[in-house]
Structure 1
Amino acid sequence: MIRLFDALTPVGEMRVVGGAVRNTLLREPIGDIDIATVATPDRVARAAREAGFHVYETGLVHGTLTITVAGHPFEVTTLREDVATDGRRATVRFTDDWEMDAGRRDFTMNALYLDRDGSGFDYCGGYQDCLDRRVRFIGDPDQRILEDHLRILRFFRFHASYGTSAPDPDGLAATRRNKALLANLAVERVQHELMRLMGAPGAVDVIAILADEGFLLPFLKPPLAPRSFRALARVEAAAGRQLAPVLGLTALVGFDIDRFEKAARALKLSRKRRDRGLAALNASRDMPPRSAPHVRKLLYVHGAQAFCDGLMIALADGVDIIDVPRILAEARNWQKPVFPVSGNDLLRQGDTGGPELGARLRRLDAAWRDSDFALGKDALLALDRAHLEKDG
C-alpha cells in the first residue's frame, strides 16, 4: 500500500476509507482496502501506469479504478457527491471536499478516513459509533434509504456483523417505513446482502425482524421460520461450525425441499449454493445414524459435506442424535473408499452390457456398503456369479 501512496499522492491527497478503517477500530479482520482521493480518475490512472501498476476501469462512471500492486487489488475512488439518485443507481460529480464525500456514504462507521501518517478523519461521528458498535445512518436515515434502497438490508447486515445491542432506533424506524422499496431492487443485489447477513455473528435476531415484519416478502413467500434459523444457528455453534448462509436459507423455509427450491430460484442462487442446500436437506432425511457402520454408509452415500450439513439440519429439526462430536470427527477424517469392482470385471463373468450391467453394479455396491466396505473384489465377484447362476 505504501508503494501506491508514493505513486499517487503527488497527483492528489489520498486516504484509506471505509471498511479497512472500521475493522481496524473494531479489531475485526481486514478484507479489501479502499482508497479515496481528490485526484480525478484520469490522473490516477496515468500515475498508476507510470509506476508500473495494472489499472482496471471497474467503475469509471463513479470514479472508481482497481489498481493492482504486487498482485494485490486496491479500489481507488475520486471524492464525489450525488447529483441524482433513484434508489438503485446514482449520478455523481467529482469534488475535492472530504466532508461532502463522507456525507454521501451510508453509515457513520463507514465514513472514516486514515491518511498515510495514521491520522484519522471523522466527519460524521463514526469513531464513537465504532467504539460503541452502533450502526447508524449518516444524517437523515430516510434520505439515505431513498438514495439507495439496498441500504435497508445493509443496515441489518451491518448490525448483524458489528452491532452488540438493539438496532439504532432511528435507523430501524426508517427501514420499517421504507421496506416496500426493497421490491424495486434487482434480486441479485438482495441475494448478495441476504447471504452475507445470514453468515454474520448476530444474524439470529436480525433474521427474526426481517421474517416477522415482512421485509423479505418480495423474495421469499411466507410462512418463514426464524425459529428454525435460530435452532440451526444454535446447533452449528455448539458443534464449532460457522453457519453457512445457504443452510440458513434452508432453515428459513422450514427445512422443506420444495420451498427451498422455490426460494433458490427466486433469489437466483448459484448452482453451487443450490446444490449444497439440496444435498444437505436430502442427507437430513437419512438421519439419525444408527451405528458407526451406518455413519460410514451415509458418508459414502452423501459425501462428507452433505452428511455434516444434514446432521446439523436434523439436529435443528428436533431429531435426537447422540455423540455428535464423535460423528463429526469421523466425518472430518473420513476418506471415501474405492469400489473394487468395475463393469469390465462383470462383463468377463458373463452376460452382456446395458441396463442389466448397471443393475449388477448397483447390487454389488449395496452389498459392499452393507458389509461396512469389508467385502473385497473376489467376494463381490463371487456374489455376482451366484446371482447369475440363480437367474440362469
Structure 2
Amino acid sequence: MEKAGVKVAPTGLAHGTITAVIDHHPYEVTTLRRDVETDGRHAVVAWTDDWQEDAARRDFTINAMSLDRDGTLYDFFHGQEDLEARRVRFVGQAAQRIEEDALRALRFFRFQARYGGDVPDREACAAITQHCQNMAQLSVERIASELLKILAGPNLESTIGLMDQTGLLRTLLPQAEPSGLAALLACKGQQRALVRLYALSPDPAVGQALKLSNVEKSALNAYAKAHPVLRPEMDDDDIRRARVLQSEAVLIDRTWLAQAHYDASPEDSWGRLRARIAAIVQPEFPLSGRDGIMLGLKPGPELGQWIKKARAWWMAQGCRPDRHACQTWLMQQLPSQE
C-alpha cells in the first residue's frame, strides 16, 4: 500500500473500518458487515461477503446503494427510485431500524431536509413518534453532534416543524421556541449552527445539557448577555468598546440574534454593522502593572485599582488613547488621590 502512495490508519478496526489517505485526502473504507446484536446504541457486527446482507443493515434506502469499479449499481431496496422521487425511506421497517439505533430518528430529519420532498414518509414519522423515548438510550454527545448538523443544514424551518410534530423536538429540547428560530432564519444570513441553537432554545444551559465544548458553552453564555447592546446606529467608539468586551465572532453572532429580535426582515443596516465590526482592529489596553510601578505605585491591590481606573478611562475614550496618553492620564490622576 505504501509503495502505491497510500497511507492506512486503523480508525475503526472493531467495525471493520480503516482510513486510506491518498494525496492527503482521507477515504474511509469499511468491509461488508451484518448485525449480530443491537441495543439501540451500538451494534455487534460480523463480517460477510454478501452485499445485500450489508445493505440490509443500512438506515435509509438511499444509503444502501453501492457501485462497483465497473460502474454497476447495486440497489437492493429501490434507493435510486426513492432518490429520484425525493423520498427518504428506512430500509425495511422503520420501527425496527430505530430500535436498532435510536440516532436514526435524528438522521431521518437531516436526510429529509437535504434529499426529501414536501411530503415526508408516513411510516418513518409514525415510528419516530412511537420511539421518542428511545433517545434516552443515546449519549448526549451523539445527539448534540447530529442536532448541530441539522441546524447547519437546509430547509431548517420546515424540518424543525416536522420534528415538533413527531414529538422529537420537545424530547430533546423541552424549552424549544420554533418561532425564535423562524425569526432568525427570516434574516436570511449565514448564521452558525450554534446561533440557530440559541435562537431555538434561548437558554445558555442548553450547552451544558448537550455537553457541548467549553468554547461553545462560553459562546452561548455570551449570547445571553444584555451588554454590550448592539444596534446598527453604533458609532466606531461603541464598536471598539464592544470588541473589548466580546470577540468579533461572538459580536457577529449576536448581531443576527439582535436583528431577529428587533426586526426579522433583511436590512442593509445590520449587514453594514457586521462589516464594521469585522473591519475594526482589535483594541488592546496598552497599560500593565509595570507602567503603574514606573509611575511610583507599589505592587498590590492599590496598583490593580489604578490600572482598572485607567482602563475605564481608556474605554470611555473609545479605546483610542495609546500607551503614552494612558500613562499621562494616570500620572495626572495620582497626585489628586494622595
TM-score scaled to structure 2, two decimals?
Answer: 0.89
Aligned length: 335
Aligned residue identity for 2:283: P
Give the Cα–Cα distance (whole angstroms) in 1 for the partners of residues 284 and 243 of structure 2.
13
2:238 aligned residue: 294
Contact persistence 2:228–2:245 (CA under 8 A):
no
Distance in 2 (CA, whole Å) between partners of 1:185 and 1:150 is 7
Q: Does 1:130 align with 2:76?
A: no
Closer/same/farther in 2, CA of residues 358 and 131 from structure 1, 3 Å limit: farther
Report the AA paired with residue 255 of structure 2. L
- Superposed CA deviations along residues 282-334 of structure 1, whole A, max 9, x for unmatched, are 26662336531212321232121111111111222237998111111112222
CA distance in 2, matches of 1:307, 1:284: 11
Q: d(CA) in 1 for partners of 2:118 and 2:240?
A: 43
Of residues 151, 157, 161 in structure 2, which corresponds to 1:198? 151
Whether the 8 Å contact between 1:282 and 1:310 is mirrored in structure 2 is no
The alignment yields a C-alpha RMSD, in angstroms, of 2.4
Alignment deviations for residues 128-184 of structure 1 (CA, whole Å, 9 cap, x no partner): 322333211112111211221111111112112333423222211111111111111
Alpha-carbon distance in 2 for matches of 1:61, 1:323: 54
Classify 1:311/1:178 alpha carbon distance in 2 versus 1 (closer, same or farther; 3 Å): same
Q: In the alignment, is the contact (CA less than 8 A) between 1:163 and 1:202 conserved in 2?
A: no
Aligned to 1:312: 256
CA–CA separation in structure 1 for the residues paired with 2:218 and 2:119: 35
1:208 is aligned to 2:171: no
Secondary structure of 1:359's counterpart equals helix
Partner residue in 2 for 1:248: 196
- AA paired with 2:88? V
For 1:350, the equivalent position in structure 2 comes to 296
Deviations 1:64-110 (A, max 9, x none): 22222333322221212222222112222222222222121111111
Describe the shift of the 1:381–1:283 C-alpha distance in structure 2 as closer, same or farther (beyond 3 A): same
Q: CA deviation at 1:49?
A: 6.2
Q: Render the CA deviation track for 1:186-232: whole Å, top value 9, x for unaligned.
A: 21111111111111112222223434654245543x33211111212
Instruction: Find the aligned partners of 2:226 and 2:253 in 1 and give their Cα distance.
Output: 8
Q: Which moved more, 1:323-332 or 1:70-79?
A: 70-79
Partner of 2:221: 278
Q: Percent identity?
A: 37
SS in 1 for 2:215: helix
Instruction: Report what 1:28 is aligned to.
Output: none
Cα distance in 2 between the residues matched to 1:169 and 1:334: 52
* C-alpha distance in structure 2 between counterparts of 1:266 and 1:338, whole Å: 35
2:44 and 2:224 map into 1 onto residues whose CA distance is 44
Q: Do residues 154 (structure 1) and 120 (structure 2) align?
A: no
* Cα deviation digits, residues 2-44 of structure 1 (max 9, x gap): xxxxxxxxxxxxxxxxxxxxxxxxxxxxxxxxxxxxxxxxxxx
Structure 2: gaps spanning 5 or more residues: none
In 2: Cα distance, 1:135 partner to 1:51 partner: 39
Whether the 8 Å CA contact 2:35–2:45 is kept in 1: the answer is yes
The one-letter amino acid paired with 2:222 is A
- 1:275 Cα deviation after fit: 1.4
In the alignment, is residue 183 of structure 1 matched against residue 129 of structure 2?
no
1:356-375 to structure 2, matched below 5 A, reads 356-375=302-321
User: For 2:180, which of 220, 228, 238 is the aligned residue?
Assistant: 228
Relative to structure 1, the CA distance from residue 272 to residue 211 in structure 2 (aligned partners, 3 Å threshold; closer, same or farther) is farther
Measured after TM superposition, the shift of residue 268 of structure 1 is: 0.9
142-151 or 62-71: bigger deviation: 62-71
SS in structure 2 opposite 1:81?
A: strand
Aligned-partner Cα distance in 2 for 1:115–1:175: 34
**Which one of 300, 309, 328 corresponds to residue 274 of structure 2?**
328
